[in-house]
Amino acid sequence: MSQGTSVDNGGLLRRYGLQVTAQRLAVLRAVSDRPHSTADDICTVVRAEIGAVSRQAVYDALAALTDKGLLRRIQPARSSARYEDRVADNHHHLICRTCSRMVDVDCAVGDTPCLTAADDSGYEIDEAEVIFWGRCPECVAATSVSSDGRKRTRSVRHQLRSTASGPKQPRSRETSHQKETAREEKDRRV
Ligand SMILES: [Zn+2]
Ligand SMILES: [Zn+2]
């Protein structure tokens, strides 16, 4: 990593009223190199870079950076929170149900009826948080090569922060390469 980057990030931390620490710098760098990482992923990267650092220290740094608005935290239903440093806009996300890869999608423009609450219940709405769920091109390709040719339905779901109910995921998860999902299911049972 170049000297310039850490100097800039140091200035950034100070501008946001945060003390400059090695952990915060490393966390900031890890997130900006790997947007949409989970705290665990960031922990691994930070440890590889600055050596022994507690998981709690990384979590604390993420919390401080998110609190101050340097990082954005995205919380998809039933999966770990992800972090990114693209904070200046209200962009949305696409998530692959199979491999959990998350990518950015620019804020919807034009005719977007789902983003306009039918009944705002008197709330002053300033944000609609949208997560599109589906499968990434790689996972679609992997399935179409190996599967029995059965058609799968794509599913797109809107998650609006202003509504209380989270999206329910379909129970049909029978493909063999869904290691992530299998692990999640096991974790939940423990
Ligand atoms: Zn995928
Ligand atoms: Zn993003």
**What is the pLDDT, as a whole number, of residue 112?**
74
Last residue of a domain, one of 74, 106, 129: 74
Report if residue 79 sits inside a domain. Answer: no
Query: What is the span of the domain harbouring residue 112?
Result: 89-189
| Residues 115, 138 within the same domain | yes
| Residues 102, 166 within the same domain | yes
Name the average pLDDT for the chain: 79
Q: How far, in Å, from the CA of 97 to the mean position of ligand 1? A: 7
Report if residue 70 sits inside a domain. Answer: yes
Over the Cα atoms of the chain, what is R_g? 19
**What is the pLDDT, as a whole number, of residue 147?**
52
| The pair of three-digit structure tokens given for residue 73, joined into one six-digit string | 């935290």
Instruction: Tell me which of 113-117, 124-128, 177-181 is least confident.
Output: 177-181
Over residues 5-9, the mean pLDDT reads 70
CA distance 55 to 61: 10
Say what percent of the chain tops pLDDT 90: 54
Res 108 pLDDT > 70:
yes
**What is the pLDDT, as a whole number, of residue 146?**
59
74: helix, strand or coil: strand
Over residues 24-43, the mean pLDDT reads 96
Over residues 61-85, the mean pLDDT reads 95
| Residues 47, 119 within the same domain | no
Q: How far, in Å, from the CA of 49 to the mean position of ligand 1? A: 28
Res 56 pLDDT > 90:
yes
**Cβ 132 vs Cβ 95: under 8 Å:** yes
> CB within 5 A of ion ligand 1: which residues?
96, 98-99, 101, 136, 139
Report if residue 25 sits inside a domain. Answer: yes
Q: Which residues contact 130 (CB under 8 A, 6 or more apart)?
A: 92, 93, 108, 114, 115, 158, 159, 160
**What is the pLDDT, as a whole number, of residue 118?**
84
Report if residue 82 sits inside a domain. Answer: no
**What is the pLDDT, as a whole number, of residue 183?**
45
Res 76 pLDDT > 60:
yes
**What is the pLDDT, as a whole number, of residue 1?**
45
Ligand nearest to the CA of 103: 2
| Residues 150, 65 within the same domain | no
The more confident residue out of 57 and 5 is 57
